[in-house]
Amino acid sequence: MFADDASEKKEVTVDFFENYLNDFDVYISDIVLREIGNTTNPEKLNKLFRAIEHYKIRVFGHLNLNINSLSVLYLSNGIVP
């Protein structure tokens, strides 16, 4: 959403967040949250945390066995590159 260096991707992402996100239960992992926390640009950090709150993105705590098994299945079957 805040990648000014990739405007074509930014437009699609903003459209999704503004028009379709509420149709889904959206989650990020605690790992993603930690990565966001490592952002050194205070303005970008603030924008990212505000987006998580604004769009009501849920954070999974520790990855559980089911999530790990599903990710292995996706990767081994080429569903996710």
pLDDT in tens, the chain (81 residues): 677 777 778 889 889 999 999 999 999 988 888 899 998 999 999 999 999 999 999 888 766 667 777 877 888 888 876
Looking at the domain assignment, is residue 67 inside a domain?
Answer: yes
Q: How far apart are CA 46 and CA 42, in angstroms?
A: 6
Q: Which domain holds residue 42?
A: 7-76
Residue 59 CA to residue 7 CA, distance in Å, equals: 27
Residue type, 75: L
Question: Would 61 be classed as within a structural domain?
Answer: yes
Output the pLDDT for position 8.
79
Residue 1 belongs to a domain: no
Does residue 2 belong to any structural domain of this protein?
no
Task: Please tell me the pTM assigned to this model.
Answer: 0.65
Per-residue confidence (pLDDT) for residue 33, from 0 to 100:
86
Q: Is residue 52 part of a domain?
A: yes
Q: What total number of domains does the chain contain?
A: 1
**pLDDT for 52:** 92
Do residues 54 and 1 make contact, with C-beta atoms less than 8 angstroms apart? no
